[in-house]
Amino acid sequence: MRAARLIRMALLVQSSPGMTAAALARELEVSERTVIRDAQALQEAGVPIRSERGRAGGYHLAPGHRTRLTTLRPTEAETLYLSGLPTALRDLGLADAADTARLKLSATLLPSLRAAAESSVRRFHLDAPAWFREPSTPELLPELARAVWSDRPVELAYARPGREGAPPERVTRLLEPYGLVLKAGVWYVVGRVPGGRPSREGDWRTYRVDRVLALSPARGTPPGGDEPFVRDPAFDLAAYWKTHSEGFARALLRTAVTVRLTERGLRLLPVVADPAGVGDAMASATGPDEAGRVTLDLPVESEEVAFTQLAGLGAEAEVLAPAGLRALFREHARALAAVYGAEPGDQR
DSSP string, 298-317: EEES-HHHHHHHHGGGGGGE
- In angstroms, the CA 236 to CA 205 distance is 14
Q: Is the dihedral of CA 57, 60, 66, 71 positive or negative?
A: negative
Q: 315: exposed, middle or buried (C-beta count within 10 Å: 0-12, 13-18, 19+)?
A: exposed
CA angle, 316 as apex, 312 and 318 as ends, to 5°? Answer: 90
pLDDT at 72 over 60: no
- pLDDT tens digits, residue range 81-90? 555 566 666 6
Q: Which helix (H) or strand (E) holds 50?
A: strand 49-52
Per DSSP bridges, beta strands 212-217 and 255-261 are unpaired
Residue 301 pLDDT class (50, 70, 90 cuts): confident
- pLDDT tens digits, residue range 10-64? 888 887 888 898 989 988 889 999 999 988 888 887 888 888 887 767 888 887 6
Question: Other CB atoms closer than 10 Å to residue 336's CB: what's the count?
Answer: 12
- In angstroms, the CA 276 to CA 270 distance is 10
Q: Is 28 helix (H, G, I), strand (E, B) or coil?
A: helix
pLDDT at 237 over 70: yes
- pLDDT tens digits, residue range 195-225? 655 444 557 888 889 899 998 888 655 444 4
- pLDDT tens digits, residue range 124-160? 656 666 666 666 778 888 888 888 888 899 999 988 8
Give the domain 2-61 fold: Arc Repressor Mutant, subunit A (1.10.10)
Residue 268 in contact with residue 313, Cβ under 8 Å? yes
Q: Is the dihedral of CA 38, 39, 44, 49 positive or negative?
A: positive
* Max Cα-Cα span within the chain: 89
Q: What is the pLDDT of residue 34?
A: 92
Average pLDDT over residues 268-297: 84
Residue 295 pLDDT class (50, 70, 90 cuts): very high
141-235 maps to which CATH number?
2.30.30
Residue 191, strand partner residues: 177, 205
- In angstroms, the CA 177 to CA 188 distance is 11
Question: Other CB atoms closer than 10 Å to residue 37's CB: what's the count?
Answer: 13
Domain edges within the chain: 2-61, 74-123, 141-235, 253-340
Query: How high does pLDDT run on average in the chain?
Result: 78
The number of helix segments (H) and strand segments (E) in the chain equals 13, 10
Average pLDDT over residues 284-301: 86
- pLDDT tens digits, residue range 173-190? 888 999 888 887 788 899
**Using alpha carbons only, how large is the chain's radius of gyration in Å?**
29
